C-alpha cells in the first residue's frame, strides 16, 4: 500500500476550474509502422546514432495506441476533467500534405469517444513536434508552405472530431522546436542553424494562425496554443548581464507571445529578418484566441558570455555553442529535479502576474497546459512536494488577479522524453519498460485525493 505524505489541504480554486493531465503522441503512442502512419522527424532523428542519450526510440513507447482504454481508465480514476493529448500529423496525413489516412483518424475517433464515455473532456493538440519527414525533407518549417499544409491537416482533423471536441490546441512549444530543433540541433530535425532558424519561428506562428482559421471555419470554439514560458533572471545588475538576459527573454518568451497577443514582433530589427509579408502574416497570427496556454517548468538565470569560461555552456544537459550572446547560469538555493532543473514555485506566480502586466486586456484567460517534474521511483514524494508547491503558487497568482482557468499536469505516464530517451520519468504513472505494465505512483494517489477534498 502506497503511503501518501500528509499535507494541509490545497486552497480552494474557483468553481469550474479545469483539472487535467497531458501527454503527446510521439512520446506515448508507439505503433509507428501501423495503419498507414508515415514517418516523423523524431522517427528519423532517434534512428541516428548518438542522438538519444540512452539509445532508445519511440517505436513502442508506452504502446498507448493499443492500450488507450487502460490509460483512459486511469484518467477517469484520477478524477480530472480533461485529457490533453496530441494528434500525430504523420498518422493522419502520412506525407504531411495530400491524402488523408482514414485509419489514422479512426484511432482518434475511438480515443475521443472513450474519453467522453468516461466523462473526460478531450483536448487535442494538433502539433507536438512530430513533423512528417516528407515535409522536412523539403525544408520543413523553414518553408512557408509547411504552414499551409498544417492548416489543411487541421481542417481534416476538425472535420472528423469537431462534433465532439470543445477545446483545441494548435501548436505545442514552437520556441523549443525552433531553438532546439532548428537552432541548436539537439532535437529533431537536428539542424544547427543558430539565428538562421528564425524563419521556422515565423512559419510556426503562421501555421498556428492558419489553423485557427481552419478550425473557426469548421465551427470550432475553445481554441488556444501551448507556449513554454518562464521568468528570465539576470545574473547581475551589470549592463552586460541585463542585456544578455533581455535577449534571451525575447527569444524564449516575447518572440512567441507578442505576435499572438499584441500583433507585432517585440523588436523591429528582428521582424526585418523574418521571411514573407510579415505585416500581413501578423494579422493572421494574432487572430483572437479563446484562451492562452502556458507550459511552465523553471525560471532561467542568464548572464553575458564569459571569455574565460572553459568549454561550452551546459544548459539542462544541452551544450550551448560559445558564440551565443548569452550564457545560462545555475540557479542556486533551490531543490532540484532529476533533470537538474530548479524547483521554484514562486516563479510561476511571478510569470503569471508579469503576463497580466505586460499584455493586459490582450491576454485571454490562461490555462497552465503543462507543469511537472522528473523524479525516479514509485513513492515519489518529491513530485508531490513539487505539485503541492506549484498549485499553491498558482492559487496565489489567481488571488492577485491572474485569470487562470485550468491546470494540466505533465504527464500522465512515464514516456519517451525526447533526446533523453526514457531516463527522465515525468509521469504520475510508472510504465515498466519491459512489460509496459502501469503502476500508479504516490503522486497519482495524492493528486486524486487532493482533487476530491
Across the range 4-17, mean pLDDT stands at: 83
Is the confidence at residue 256, as pLDDT, over 80? yes
Bond preceding residue 391 cis, omega within 30 of 0? no
Classify residue 270 as left (phi > 0), alpha (psi -120 to 50) or beta. alpha
Question: What pLDDT band is residue 76 in, cutting at 50, 70 and 90?
Answer: very high
Reply yes or no on whether the pLDDT at 414 is more than 70: yes
Burial letters 202-213, b for 16+ CB under 10 A, else e: bbbbbbbbbbbe
Percentage of residues in the chain having pLDDT higher than 70? 96
Mean pLDDT of 197-217: 98
pLDDT at residue number 314 = 56
pTM for the whole structure: 0.97
pLDDT at position 418 is 98
pLDDT interval class at 77 (50, 70, 90): very high
Q: Which residues pair with 406 in a beta bridge?
A: 18, 367
Confidence check: pLDDT of 3 > 70: no
Residue 306: predicted pLDDT: 83
The stretch 163-170 carries a mean pLDDT of 98
What does the longest C-alpha to C-alpha distance in the chain come to?
A: 61
Residue 317 has pLDDT above 80, yes or no: no
Q: Which alpha helices (H) appear in 250-294, and where do they start and end?
A: 255-262, 268-272, 278-285
Q: Mean of the pLDDT values across residues 117-144?
A: 98
Q: How confident is the model at residue 2 (pLDDT cuts 50, 70, 90)?
A: very low
Tell me whether strands 327-329 and 300-303 are parallel, antiparallel or unpaired.
Answer: antiparallel
- DSSP letters of 87-99? --HHHHSTTSSS-
Q: Rounded to whole angstroms, how far apart are CA atoms 409 and 405? A: 14
**Residue 20: which H helix or E strand, with range?**
strand 18-22
pLDDT at residue 313 tops 70: no
Q: For 329-351, what is each residue's pLDDT tens digit? A: 999 999 999 999 999 999 999 99
Q: Which residues are catalytic?
A: 173, 370
For residue 427, pLDDT beyond 50: yes
Residue-wise pLDDT tens digits, 81-112: 999 999 999 999 999 999 999 999 999 999 99
Domain map of the chain by residue range?
Answer: 18-451
Is residue 57 over pLDDT 60?
Answer: yes
Is pLDDT larger for residue 193 or for residue 317? 193
- How many Cα atoms occupy the beta-carbon half-sphere of 166 within 13 Å? 6
**Which pLDDT value is given to residue 382?**
98
Banded pLDDT at 4 (limits 50, 70, 90): very low
Angle subtended at Cα 371 by Cα 391 and Cα 136, rounded to the nearest 5 degrees: 165
Q: Indicate whether 310 pLDDT > 60.
A: no
Beta-carbon contacts of residue 349 (< 8 Å; ≥ 6 apart): 393, 394, 396, 397, 400
pLDDT confidence bin for 309, thresholds 50/70/90: low
The yes-or-no verdict on residue 239 having pLDDT over 80 is yes
Architecture of domain 18-451: Alpha-Beta Barrel (3.20)
What average pLDDT does the structure give for the chain?
96
Amino acid at each position: 500500500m502506497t503511503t501518501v505524505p500528509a499535507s494541509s489541504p490545497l486552497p480552494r480554486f474557483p468553481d469550474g476550474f479545469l483539472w487535467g493531465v497531458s501527454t503527446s503522441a510521439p512520446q506515448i503512442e508507439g505503433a509507428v509502422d501501423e495503419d498507414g502512419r508515415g514517418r516523423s522527424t523524431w522517427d528519423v532523428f532517434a534512428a541516428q546514432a548518438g542522438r538519444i542519450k540512452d539509445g532508445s526510440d519511440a517505436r513502442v513507447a508506452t504502446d498507448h495506441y493499443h492500450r488507450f482504454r487502460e490509460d483512459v481508465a486511469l484518467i477517469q480514476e484520477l478524477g480530472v476533467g480533461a485529457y490533453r493529448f496530441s494528434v500525430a500529423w504523420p498518422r493522419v496525413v502520412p506525407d504531411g500534405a495530400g491524402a488523408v489516412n482514414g485509419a489514422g483518424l479512426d484511432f482518434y475517433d475511438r480515443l475521443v469517444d472513450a474519453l467522453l464515455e468516461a466523462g473526460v473532456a478531450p483536448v487535442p493538440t494538433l502539433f507536438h513536434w512530430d513533423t512528417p519527414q516528407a515535409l522536412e525533407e523539403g525544408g520543413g518549417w523553414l518553408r512557408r508552405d509547411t504552414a499551409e499544409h498544417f492548416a489543411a491537416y487541421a481542417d481534416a482533423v476538425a472535420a472528423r472530431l469537431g462534433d465532439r471536441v470543445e477545446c483545441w490546441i494548435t501548436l505545442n512549444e514552437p520556441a523549443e522546436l525552433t531553438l532546439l530543433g532548428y537552432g541548436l540541433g539537439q532535437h529533431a530535425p537536428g539542424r544547427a542553424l543558430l539565428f538562421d532558424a528564425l524563419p521556422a519561428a515565423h512559419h510556426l506562428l503562421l501555421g498556428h494562425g492558419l489553423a485557427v482559421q481552419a478550425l473557426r471555419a469548421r465551427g470550432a470554439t475553445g481554441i488556444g496554443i501551448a507556449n513554454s514560458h518562464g521568468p528570465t533572471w539576470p545574473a547581475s545588475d551589470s549592463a552586460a548581464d541585463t542585456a544578455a538576459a533581455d535577449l534571451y527573454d525575447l527569444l524564449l518568451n516575447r518572440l512567441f507571445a507578442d505576435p499572438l497577443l499584441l500583433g507585432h514582433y517585440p523588436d523591429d530589427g528582428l521582424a526585418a529578418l523574418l521571411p514573407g509579408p510579415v505585416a500581413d502574416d501578423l494579422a493572421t497570427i494574432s487572430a483572437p484566441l479563446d484562451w492562452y496556454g502556458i507550459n511552465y517548468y523553471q525560471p532561467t538565470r542568464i548572464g553575458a558570455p564569459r571569455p574565460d569560461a572553459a568549454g561550452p555552456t551546459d544548459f539542462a544537459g544541452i551544450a550551448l555553442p560559445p558564440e551565443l550572446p548569452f550564457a545560462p547560469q545555475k540557479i542556486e538555493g533551490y531543490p532540484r529535479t532529476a533533470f537538474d532543473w530548479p524547483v521554484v514555485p514562486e516563479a510561476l506566480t511571478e510569470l503569471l502576474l508579469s503576463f497580466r502586466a505586460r499584455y493586459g486586456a490582450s491576454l485571454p484567460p490562461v490555462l497552465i497546459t503543462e507543469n511537472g517534474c522528473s523524479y525516479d521511483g514509485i513513492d515519489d514524494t518529491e513530485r508531490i512536494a513539487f505539485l503541492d508547491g506549484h498549485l499553491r503558487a498558482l492559487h496565489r497568482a489567481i488571488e492577485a488577479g491572474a485569470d487562470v482557468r485550468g491546470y494540466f499536469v505533465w504527464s500522465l505516464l512515464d514516456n519517451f522524453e525526447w533526446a533523453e530517451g526514457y531516463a527522465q520519468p515525468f509521469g504520475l504513472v510508472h510504465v515498466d519498460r519491459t512489460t509496459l505494465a502501469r503502476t500508479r505512483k504516490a503522486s497519482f494517489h495524492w493528486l486524486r485525493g487532493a482533487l476530491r477534498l
